[in-house]
Amino acid sequence: MSSNPIYRREFLEKLGKVSLGAVMAGGLPIQGVSAREQQEGRKWEPVSERKVRVGIVGYGVCRFGAAFGFQDHPNVDIVAVSDLIPERRQGLMKACRCDKSYESLEVLVKDPGIEAVFVATDAPNHVRHCIEVLNHGKHVMTAVPAVFGSIEQAEQLLETVQRTGLKYMMAETSCFRADCYGMRKIYEAGGFGRLVYSEGEYYHYHSTPIDSFKGWRIGMPPLWYPTHSTAYYVGVTSKRFTSVSCIGFNAGFQAYRPGANKYDNRFTDEVALFKTSEGGSSRMLMCKGIQSLIVERGRVFGERGWMDGTEYHGIAKKLPDITRPPLPPGMPAGGHGGSHGLLANEFINSILENREPLVNVYEALAMTVPGIVAHQSALRDGETLKIPQYVRPKA
């Protein structure tokens, strides 16, 4: 390989026919073979024979309580489930093949047989519910976002995780999408150098609000739900956003007219430009007003190379294996680009191996809080604002 930029497609074409093993040994994805096919070609190895006793809470519009596949993981026993609505509670019991349920999270966390809880409840209650779980001596994984519009709640969550010493993980799906996972591995191997610029985009067009518990989604500030985008920097580098300027836009939907929502929010779309701790910049957005567009995607551009999707372009002479980890036999990859199962597996393995999960509380807050500050900037017509820093204390 020369020192000139390497275009992976051209490089593979020059290689001619090579075996699956030879390509994977060299650390490059295989052209024409999907990430899922590569993933299935690798054997899952259990880290323990122990089963983690899990409780699951929440079976709302997205049915997330059962969507991450905990019930299919060989290292999991589903002890009990819960949802406030009896019909949904019954549905969650059936989906998780569990015959025990509780009428609320507050009751479920008192069960001494449960050691970890997946919180798939409404976003405004994520912090309250996670703190309740942690204060009852149980590990917790939560759906996104970590906090909802409140920096004060972020501080409360951080204090609780630090005080209890228990595992906390946010299930940010972009972190285990094939492209973002590959970007992270290449970044860690030095294939990008410092990132000069990055982009994360979450487009979710809907002219009428998606149904939600007590209508929490109706009129929601877009960047209060930022993590599908911000993972394309924080989830790649583990670095931080330090300041932000954000512009909001109103697409004219009914739910965003004056007085139409509980948040007094007029923005359907928010586009933020962040300064990063590497000295670069990052454009992150959440847009609901762009006709018919529903997608999550990102790109990274560094000193030594760049990546758009799963194609690497750069000067690195050897790349790491960017194939996502294999899943246990019979466990579905799930939605959001096949990330659900991998997130559940990561959480369970972090408990079994007694280590920090990938999206721990510091990474979760570093992905979430910048969006809250960005919305404040949008309300101030793009004024540049500083962002609180969440960095693990040095031992």
**What pLDDT score was predicted for residue 41?**
61
pLDDT digits (tens, 9 = 90+) for 359-380: 999 999 999 999 999 999 999 9
Residue that wins the pLDDT comparison between 2 and 205: 205
pLDDT digits (tens, 9 = 90+) for 67-101: 999 999 999 999 999 999 999 999 999 999 999 99
The pTM of this model reads 0.90
Mean pLDDT, residues 108-127: 98
Largest separation between any pair of C-alpha atoms in the chain: 64
Extents of the domains making up the chain: 174-317+361-386
Q: Is the pLDDT of residue 2 over 60?
A: no
Q: Is the pLDDT of residue 328 over 70?
A: yes
Backbone φ, ψ for residue 271 (5° rounding): -120, 120
Q: Please report which confidence band the pLDDT of residue 119 belongs to, taking 50, 70 and 90 as the band edges.
A: very high
Q: Please report which confidence band the pLDDT of residue 21 belongs to, taking 50, 70 and 90 as the band edges.
A: very low
**What pLDDT score was predicted for residue 212?**
85
Q: Please report which confidence band the pLDDT of residue 12 belongs to, taking 50, 70 and 90 as the band edges.
A: very low
Q: Is the pLDDT of residue 324 over 90?
A: yes
pLDDT digits (tens, 9 = 90+) for 299-318: 999 999 999 988 899 999 89
Q: Which of 393, 339, 369, 367 is nearest to 235 (CA)?
A: 367
Cis peptide before 145 (omega within 30 of 0): yes
Return d(Cα 38, Cα 334) in angstroms, integer: 16
Mean pLDDT, residues 42-46: 89
Tokens 């079976």, residue located = 59
Q: Is the pLDDT of residue 290 over 60?
A: yes
Mean pLDDT, residues 172-194: 98
**What pLDDT score was predicted for residue 394?**
79
Q: Please report which confidence band the pLDDT of residue 32 belongs to, taking 50, 70 and 90 as the band edges.
A: very low
Mean pLDDT, residues 41-59: 93
**What pLDDT score was predicted for residue 25?**
33
Alpha helices, DSSP H, located in 96-177: 105-108, 126-135, 151-164
- CATH hierarchy code of domain 174-317+361-386: 3.30.360.10
Q: Is 63 left (phi over 0), alpha (psi -120 to 50) or beta?
A: left
CA 358 from centre of chain: 10
Query: What is the residue-averaged pLDDT of the chain?
Result: 90
Mean pLDDT, residues 130-154: 98
Q: Which of 150-154, 228-232, 269-273, 390-394 has the lowest mean pLDDT?
A: 390-394
Both tokens assigned to 32: 């024409």
Using a pLDDT cut of 70, give the percent of the chain over it: 89
Mean pLDDT, residues 322-327: 95
Mean pLDDT, residues 127-137: 98
**What pLDDT score was predicted for residue 37?**
47
**What pLDDT score was predicted for residue 40?**
54
Question: Which amino acid is it at 287?
Answer: C
Distances (CA, A) of 116 to 5, 168, 223: 47, 10, 29
Q: Is the pLDDT of residue 219 over 70?
A: yes
Distances (CA, A) of 165 to 199, 307, 361, 379: 34, 37, 11, 37
